[in-house]
Structures are given as structure tokens and as C-alpha cells.
Amino acid sequence: MKKYLVFSFLATILFTACDDTRKAMHDEYLEFVMHTDSLETVHEAMVVSHEAVKADTRTLAQKLKDVEATDSIAMADVQEHQMQLKAQATSLAKLKKLIESHADVKGYFMSDSISVEQMEQQLLDMEANNEEIAARLNQIKTELQKIEAEQEILKNQDSEE
């Protein structure tokens, strides 16, 4: 009988500890969801900025084509900007899919069908994904700022001539 009571007591402690661990993991997951949501907001703002720079690049390219004495270096710069913008568009689309994949995990993660080890691994994966997303968004932002600055110089050169 004593063995049964001790076993029951240990089983209760084990289940309680697992529940606390699961709750802590669920709370940590919800923090990652909030971080992902903020990254999604930044992503959407970056898409808007990207589209604006893309439109400016098209306008500038058309202006340069219309001018007969167009500087070939300026045209090469604009073409370089267009290639960068295409690469950024592809990257932004991939990041959007990665952000959306975090939402797909929610039902699975919040269920009891996932083990604590799987939860820990999922959290590590999400943390790595969020760091990658944030780094890439920062890189795109820097590239867009550089393109805008270079295009401003090209516009000023065009208006001086």
C-alpha cells in the first residue's frame, strides 16, 4: 500500500511539473507570436516602401530614356536598382511565407499532442526564424535607403542639366 501511495504521489508531482513546463512553453510561444506579429507589421511597411521605391525607379528610368543625352552610368545605376528591387521582392515574398508559417503552428503547439521536447525545438526554430526575418528586413531597409539616396542624386543631376 505504501508503494502505491508513493507511486501516486510521484506521478502527481510529475504531471504537475509537466503542466508547469507546458504552461511556461505556451507563454513563451505567445511571446514569439507577439514578436512575429510585430515583424509582420514591419514587413508590411517594408513592402509599401519597396513598392514606392520601385515606382520611383520606373519613373526615373523613363525620364532617363526620354533624355537623349542620357548618361550611360546613370542608366546602369537604375538598372542595378531594378535588379535589387526584384531580388527584394522575392525575399519579401519568402519572408511573408515564413511569417505565415508561424501562425500555422499555433493549433498544433497549443495542443497537448506535442511533447515538451518538440515544443522546445519549435520555439528554437521560431526564434531563429524571427532573427532571420528581422535581419533580412533590416538589410532590405538599408538597401532601399541607399537606392533612394542614389536616385535622389540622379534626379538632381538630371535637373541641373
pLDDT at 159 (0 to 100): 60
Helix 2-66 and helix 72-110: axis angle, to 10°?
A: 160
Q: Which position has the grid cell 506535442?
A: 114
Q: Burial code of 58-74, b = ≥16 C-beta within 10 A, e = fewer?
A: eebbebbeeeeeeeeeb
pLDDT at 16 (0 to 100): 45
Per-residue pLDDT 10s for the chain (161 aa) are 444 444 444 444 444 444 677 788 888 888 878 888 888 899 999 899 989 988 988 888 887 777 655 667 778 888 898 999 999 999 999 999 988 887 777 777 777 777 888 888 888 888 898 999 999 999 999 999 999 998 888 888 756 55
> In this structure, what C-alpha cell is assigned to residue 104?
500555422
- Amino acid identity at 79: Q
Q: Are 110 and 29 in contact (CB under 8 A)?
A: yes
The number of CA neighbours under 13 Å toward the Cβ of 2 is: 0
pLDDT at 31 (0 to 100): 84
> In this structure, what C-alpha cell is assigned to residue 24?
511556461
